[in-house]
Structure 1
Amino acid sequence: MAHIIVVGNEKGGSGKSTTSMHVATALVRMGHSVGTLDLDLRQQSLGRYVENRRAFCEAGGHTLATPEYINLPEIVSEDVPPGVNLNDHRLSLAVQSLEADNDFILIDCPGSHTRLSQMAHSMADTLITPLNDSFVDFDLLARTRPQDGAILGPSVYSEMVWAARQARAQAGLRPIDWIVTRNRLGSQQMHNKRKVGDALSKLSRRIGFRVAPGFSERVIFRELFPRGLTLLDLRDVGGDRLNLSNIAARQELRDLINTLNLPGVKVRF
């Protein structure tokens, strides 16, 4: 069966689609087959990312490693088995269609709580939660006491992950490997950065996730999306000099893939 990677939290602007595209493309470049889904049915940033990539390749005659992307199937309520939620059935059908031909299925979730997102989390073998390095985003994981920052308990998103873990345990499935990545890290060891890091470290032991460095704030990520490119493509398409910042960003991606510890994956880029 395909290993399912879910990229999700309940806050927009944390880098979910950038993370999704870079992880999926890196796996394809390393020789793995990857199918992808975007559950943000309104914005579909990952879907548009893949569309931009295909258009760029077609216009410029490039051949770039590209993950398979499909939309959720459109079905009518009459075709849904009795007692089954329509959107649950759509997601199940999409995953089934990708499983036969792919080593990995990557699902990009919306920045809000939806039925589809909830179901996707229960399907995750690996869960990646990108988090901007601030207490605004940290609040998604846990409630803290304003006076001293003490952790009072899990917040709404953590509770959803806990429910997904319980559902998997009841179904006899393997536990979710949950990785929280710290995006937009500042280059300096600022006081707030240390405080967020300490809080994540404490919380990780309480509710069971691993902390990993994500992507720093870089202009290059905003420039890549319109062409559907990733950091790994710059040498292939020409016209983009690999400066020190881009080289550092590639290393961040390499470190992330290593940290994910996906089955059968040996980092080669």
Structure 2
Amino acid sequence: MAHIIVVGNEKGGAGKSTVAMHVATALSRMGHKVGVLDLDLRQLTLGRYIENRRAFLAKAGLNLPTPAFTPLPEIDASQLAEGVHPADQRLYAAVGSLQDSCDFILIDCPGSHTRLAQVAHSLADTLITPLNDSFVDFDMLARVDSEGEEILGPSIYSEMVWSAKQPRAQAGLDPIDWVVLRNRVGSQAMINKDKMERVVGKLAKRIGFRTAPGFSERVVFRELFPRGLTLLDLRDTGVRGLSISNIAARQELRDLIKALNLPGVKAKF
């Protein structure tokens, strides 16, 4: 059975698709077969990222490891059994088509609550939640007091993840390995940054997730999307003498892959 990785939260702009593409491509470059689903059916950012990659590689005459993007199949709702939701069946069919041929299935969720995203979370073996280093984004996980120090209670996304965990527990499956990334962290030491580190650590113990290093805010991530490239592809596309920023970003990706502790994966790149 393929190991299912879900990248999700319910807030846009946290870098989900960037994280998803880099994790999927890193696994592909390490020799693993990776299938990708994009549940943001309106924007399809991750799907377009992979399409851009294939177009650029074809134009440049390059053959680099690339995860396989699979669109969700259309479903004839009239043919479904009573009580079966078409959205659920589309996702189950897509996952089922990849299970036997892939080592990993990576599912990128939209930055909002949808039925597809909720079902995807219940399928996750590993759940990655990128989180901007801001209390505006942290509010998605938990409510805090006016000083940003004390946790008052879980918020909507945490409750949704908790609900997704219940069917797995009832079925006797391993629990979801929930990993929260503090993403787009600034390089300067700030009071807000220290508060975020403390409160995320407190919440991790309280509601059961792990923390892992995310990506710092870097211009290079915005520049890679039109060509569908990742940090791991730069040397293969003719870039010589990587900048200090690019080298540091590669190390961040290496640290992330190690921290995810995925089955059969060793971060050698």
TM-score by length of 2: 0.98
Aligned twin of 1:24: 24
Deviations along 1:122-172, one digit per CA (max 9) or x if unpaired, are 000000000000101100000112145311110000000000011211122
Matches within 5 A, 1:244-263: 244-263=244-263
Percent identical across equivalent pairs? 70
List alignment gaps of at least 5 residues for structure 2.
none
Aligned twin of 2:40: 40
| SS in structure 2 at match of 1:181 | strand
Cα separation, 1, equivalents of 2:203 and 2:176:
17
| SS in structure 2 at match of 1:182 | strand
| SS in structure 2 at match of 1:255 | helix
Aligned twin of 1:115: 115
| SS in structure 1 at match of 2:234 | helix
Q: Are residues 252 and 147 of structure 1, via their aligned partners in 2, closer, same or farther at CA, if it must alter by over 3 Å?
A: closer
Aligned twin of 2:190: 190
List alignment gaps of at least 5 residues for structure 1.
none
Which one-letter code corresponds to 1:196 in the other structure?
M
Which one-letter code corresponds to 2:71 in the other structure?
N
Which one-letter code corresponds to 2:81 in the other structure?
P
Q: Does 1:74 align with 2:74?
A: yes
Question: Which deviates further from its counterpart, 76-85 or 104-113?
Answer: 76-85
Aligned twin of 1:53: 53
Give every structure 1 segment of 4 or more consecutive aligned residues whose post-TM-superposition deviation is greater than 6 Å: none
| SS in structure 1 at match of 2:182 | strand
| SS in structure 2 at match of 1:130 | strand
Which one-letter code corresponds to 2:31 in the other structure?
G
Aligned twin of 1:104: 104
| SS in structure 2 at match of 1:268 | coil
Deviations along 1:8-60, one digit per CA (max 9) or x if unpaired, are 00000000000000000000100100000000000010000000000001111
Cα separation, 2, equivalents of 1:261 and 1:213:
13
Q: Are residues 240 and 136 of structure 1, via their aligned partners in 2, closer, same or farther at CA, if it must alter by over 3 Å?
A: farther
Which one-letter code corresponds to 1:166 in the other structure?
Q
TM-score by length of 1: 0.98
Deviation at 1:189, TM superposition (A): 2.0
Number of residue pairs the alignment of both structures matches: 269
Q: Are residues 35 and 188 of structure 1, via their aligned partners in 2, closer, same or farther at CA, if it must alter by over 3 Å?
A: same
Cα separation, 1, equivalents of 2:132 and 2:147:
22
Aligned twin of 1:151: 151
Cα separation, 1, equivalents of 2:167 and 2:151:
26
| SS in structure 2 at match of 1:199 | helix
| SS in structure 2 at match of 1:111 | coil
Which one-letter code corresponds to 2:45 in the other structure?
S
Aligned twin of 2:162: 162
